[in-house]
Amino acid sequence: MAVPSSFLAAFFFLSCFICLNPDLAVAKRTASSITRHYKFDIRMENVTRLCQTKSVITVNGKFPGPRIIAREGDRLVIKVVNHVPNNISIHWHGIRQLRSGWADGPAYITQCPIQTGQSYVYNFTVIGQTGTLWYHAHVSWIRATLYGPIVILPRSNTSYPFLKPYKEVPIIFGEWWKANTEAVINQALQTGAGPNNSDAYTINGLPGPLYNCSSPKVKPGKTYLLRLINAALNDELFFKITNHTFTVVDADANYVKPFETDTIFIAPGQTSNVLLKTKTLTSNTKFLMAARPYSTAASGTFDNTTVAGVLEYNSNNMPLSTTAIKGLALPSLPAINATSYVANWTGKFRSLANSQFPVNVPQTVDKNFFFTVGLGNDPCPKNQTCQGPNGTKFAASVNNVSFTLPTTALLQARFFGRPNGVFSTNFPAFPLNRFNYTGTPPNNTMVSHGTKVVVLPYNTTVQLVMQGTSILGAENHPLHLHGFNLYVVGQGTGNFNSSSDPANFNLVDPVERNTVGVPSGGWVAVRFRADNPGVWFMHCHIEIHLSWGLRLAWSVMDGKFPNQKLPPPPSDLPKC
């Protein structure tokens, strides 16, 4: 079979193993529940990819950024110093931030961004989490290059609930633009059209062996724990290696009942730990691995190429030649619009739900919410030509409210009792206008705008049904909620039926995730307990959808007791 022209990085780099293992060895020698200090200098760095050098925003000059390694229970103190012209904020994606909401990071939600020449110390403790998470910039599209892995090891004298792997390797999927991504999103918002596509996919920051000017190295192995992270801005991905299988053991830093699969699906924002057991083969045996996006988008643009790399059983660490790759069989991947595969995939996940790792899904519900999630339109301003649908601008919304970012951070405004002019508390719990959400769209698909939040009393149990819409095409939307994990109690196709569908909810061992896909042409139901005071962002992790307004915030109030209240902000909290 001919190999396609676009390729992912071959990811079992010998250098990755060498650089990873010393850090893990150090981490394993430390005591539990200690304080670990990191310093992140945000700098411009010249990076060469695809025969072109460009200046990109990095952490300590590295792309991707350096690993953060901790054990469950450790405190992390990370000083971030901004040396670039752009405003910066960093989100520690998936960290619960229990009573440490000032360290969550989304710009204009929990903090104002760090301005040029300024710094901020993020201070938080990892509580009740083990696995793989990640950090990334949370202002505009800067996370295109500013991201890195967070490795959370079990507490000392404890172990994984599965066989100890031979090696552990972070595998970060990303995208590479030859253009400046800030210019890409600014142009899209100005014209109202979809954004330009990326020029290549990357793994651990590197494009694959058949992109020009790439030279990957590979090595054989035994049983590896792959810490998968999808850091791509706009692409959900299928991933597969010819004649190999994976055992999925974790999702978003939560253990799951292990299951085998030959194809991984991972959405932007999601993480997963999988075991890969390599075969007993002679050296120089090669297998193609491939990935391509999942998309049902009827409007806008996306990169629909198949991308690939090579897994080579080769101990000499020699660069892999282009000639050696040609003629290898490409693994068969689901179709780009394989919605049924994605539905079956998400349905396989179950929490361990045992005595060591119990499930605390709320069995009763205090408040019910029903959110429609999807695209829409904004009118074209006078004296301007717009390139969105029918001469309008693309927009996105939840319950037809397209969220407008404030100029003062929501958490600061709430904490100091000055919400007026910053946000309102009238976000609709249900759609104001009901229609056939997965059928023919209504005639009027224009969205409303506002900075509206949902207010929850402390310890409220919440059930949220998120319903995808078919406006401008049905799409999958990976929704990420800051500050909480979501128990996925149900999902289905078509419109949610409040009379019959809840009878099939899983309240025994539902998977616990921080980023949950709202199915294309369907719905998903989640539950959580509002036990973390603060203001918490919720948004689609497809970056263009976030930029178009598919976002909102939850304001969880303080409880009665001191350990149920948000402490005052740190003295170095950035000012707007």
Q: Is there a contact between 336 and 475 (Cβ–Cβ < 8 Å)?
A: no
CA-closest candidate to residue 299, choices 194, 392, 436, 378 = 194
What is the distance, to the nearest Å, from the Cα of residue 223 to the centroid of all Cα atoms in its chain?
A: 26
Quick one: how many helices (H) and strands (E) in the chain? 6, 31
Is the confidence at residue 1, as pLDDT, over 60?
Answer: no
Q: Using CA atoms, how far apart are residues 448 and 450, in angstroms rounded to an integer?
A: 7
Query: Helix, strand or coil for residue 516?
Result: strand
- Residues 479-500 have pLDDT tens digits of 999 999 999 999 999 999 999 9
Confidence of residue 272 (pLDDT cuts 50, 70, 90): very high
- Residues 292-340 have pLDDT tens digits of 889 887 655 566 666 667 777 765 655 555 666 667 878 899 998 999 9
Mean of pLDDT values over 371-382? 97
Q: Using CA atoms, how far apart are residues 61 and 44, in angstroms rounded to an integer?
A: 7
Q: Which residues does 163 contact at the CB level (< 8 Å), separation at least 6? A: 223, 275
* Average pLDDT along the chain: 89
Distances (CA, A) of 453 to 275, 312, 429, 547, 560: 40, 51, 10, 17, 22
CA-closest candidate to residue 253, choices 68, 475, 111, 27 = 68
Domain definitions of the chain by residue range: 35-153, 167-317+329-348, 367-564
Token representation of residue 418: 């000055």
Whole-number pLDDT of residue 505: 98
Fold of 367-564: Immunoglobulin-like (2.60.40)
Whole-number pLDDT of residue 518: 97
| CATH number 3.40.50.1970 is the correct assignment for the domain at 35-153 | no
Least confident of 20-34, 56-70, 129-143, 495-509: 20-34
Backbone angles phi, psi at 190, to 5 degrees: -70, -45
- Residues 39-69 have pLDDT tens digits of 999 999 999 998 999 999 999 999 999 999 9
- Residues in the chain, total: 576
Comparison of pLDDT for 291 and 184, the residue scoring more: 184
Q: Is there a contact between 357 and 162 (Cβ–Cβ < 8 Å)?
A: no
Whole-number pLDDT of residue 21: 39
Is the confidence at residue 77, as pLDDT, over 80?
Answer: yes
Q: Using CA atoms, how far apart are residues 11 and 37, in angstroms rounded to an integer?
A: 29
CA-closest candidate to residue 265, choices 174, 338, 176 = 338
DSSP state of 351: B
Q: Using CA atoms, how far apart are residues 362 and 95, in angstroms rounded to an integer?
A: 20
- Residues 208-230 have pLDDT tens digits of 654 555 443 445 557 889 999 99
CA-based diameter of the chain, in Å? 69
Whole-number pLDDT of residue 169: 84
Whole-number pLDDT of residue 487: 98
* Run of H or E residues at 43: strand 35-49
Whole-number pLDDT of residue 124: 98
CA-closest candidate to residue 14, choices 399, 452, 464, 318 = 318
CA-closest candidate to residue 375, choices 496, 476, 306 = 476
Is the confidence at residue 18, as pLDDT, over 60?
Answer: no
Is the confidence at residue 510, as pLDDT, over 60?
Answer: yes
Whole-number pLDDT of residue 317: 56
- Residues 428-465 have pLDDT tens digits of 999 999 999 999 999 999 999 999 999 999 999 999 99
Least confident of 264-268, 286-290, 551-555: 286-290
Whole-number pLDDT of residue 139: 97
> Residue 424: beta bridge partners?
452
Q: Is there a contact between 109 and 573 (Cβ–Cβ < 8 Å)?
A: no
Least confident of 271-280, 490-499, 560-569: 271-280
Q: What does the radius of gyration of the chain's CA atoms come to, in whole angstroms?
A: 23
Mean of pLDDT values over 82-101? 98
- Residues 111-131 have pLDDT tens digits of 999 999 999 999 999 999 999
At 488, the amino acid letter reads V
Mean of pLDDT values over 139-143? 98
Specify the residue for token string 């009118």.
379
Is the confidence at residue 15, as pLDDT, over 50?
Answer: no
Q: Using CA atoms, how far apart are residues 78 and 4, in angstroms rounded to an integer?
A: 42
User: What's the pTM?
Assistant: 0.93
Whole-number pLDDT of residue 222: 78
Percent of the chain with pLDDT over 90: 76
> Which is it for strands 271-277 and 401-403: parallel, antiparallel or unpaired?
unpaired
Query: Helix, strand or coil for residue 218?
Result: coil
- Do domains 167-317+329-348 and 367-564 share one topology? The answer is yes
Q: Which CATH superfamily is domain 167-317+329-348 in?
A: Cupredoxins -  blue copper proteins (2.60.40.420)
Whole-number pLDDT of residue 256: 98
Burial of 546 (0-12, 13-18, 19+ CB in 10 A): buried
List helix spans (H) across 298-432: 322-325, 339-347, 410-415
Confidence of residue 25 (pLDDT cuts 50, 70, 90): very low
Whole-number pLDDT of residue 414: 97
Whole-number pLDDT of residue 311: 74
> Residue 292: beta bridge partners?
238
